[in-house]
Structure formats: C-alpha cells, structure tokens
Amino acid sequence: MLLTHQVKASDPGVKSSGYIGNGHGNGSEPGSVNGRGLAHRKLSYSERVALAADVATRVRRFEPSLGQLSSLFHVNVAAVRAEIKARAAVAANGNGEAKTLGDMACELVARLGLNAAFDLLVEVDS
C-alpha cells in the first residue's frame, strides 16, 4: 500500500490511500481533512493535488475552517461565528422549533398532570 506522500501525480493508475497524518487524532473523523491545519502541512505539490482529488471525489471529507468558509461565501468571519453561536443558543434551550398551542398544552399536561396544568393556566389568566 502506498502512502499519500509516496504518490506522484505522474504515476498512472495510482490511487490515494487516504492516509495523511502522523496517526495522532485531531478530533476529526478518520480520513477527513481539517482545513485549520491544511496550511501547516508540509505537502509537496503532488501530495496537494492527490489530497484535492480525494476531497473532490469524496474519498475524504473536507472540514473547512471558519476563515475558509468566510472567504468562499464572501462573508465576515465574525458574522459566521455569531450565527453559529445563535443557533447553539436556540438548540440549548429547546426553542428551536415552532410549536402549536395544542402541542404546548399536551406537553404541559404530560409534565404536570391535567389538574396542575389547568390550575397553572387559570392562574396565568387571572
């Protein structure tokens, strides 16, 4: 098996093995390319070509950095960070989905019981 750093662009019929790295995980899924560390890799031109081909053919997953995403979509990094933070806040407090009054009433009855839910609703109405 050839390692990616042994693959040359001029070698006909040679496929990338999907291995680039030192074996120490970086928190990404195995075989994925993390955009934050891409600039720090000491890859030759042919290795970068092989890596780009792996990503383009979906042999490997590419996880771009916020800076790379911002550049690609022509938006500000701070705006992307703010959007991610807002989505996380919505997900954390459970208000991410719109519920009908019927759904909320059913949830209230399930949590408190019918009598307690009715008492609470009467108290709020007063």
Whether 46 and 77 map to the same domain: the answer is: yes
Residues 71 and 85 in one domain: yes
Number of structural domains in the chain: 2
Distances (CA, A) of 83 to 66, 75, 95: 12, 12, 16
Say yes or no to pLDDT of 54 above 90.
Answer: yes
Same domain (yes/no): 79, 24: yes
pLDDT in tens, 81-106: 999 988 887 766 565 565 677 777 88
Question: Per the structure block, which two tokens stand in for 80?
Answer: 């992307």
DSSP tag of 14: P
Same domain, 54 and 114: no
Per-residue CA distances from 8 to 14, 17, 19, 55, 120 (Å)? 8, 12, 14, 17, 72
DSSP-assigned beta bridge partners for residue 63? 34
Q: In whole angstroms, what is the distance from residue 36 CA to residue 95 CA?
A: 32
- Asked if residue 102 and residue 85 are part of one domain, the reply reads no
- 103 and 89: one domain? no
Whether 68 has a pLDDT exceeding 90, the answer reads yes
Task: State how far the Cα of 62 lies from the Cα of 72, in Å rounded to an integer.
Answer: 14
Q: 5 or 32: whose pLDDT is higher?
A: 32
What pLDDT, on a 0 to 100 scale, did the predictor assign at position 11?
A: 45
In angstroms, the CA 106 to CA 97 distance is: 16
Domain hosting residue 63, numbered range: 4-93
pLDDT at 64 over 80: yes
Cα–Cα distance, 35 to 18 (Å, whole number): 16
Predicted local confidence at residue 77, as pLDDT? 93
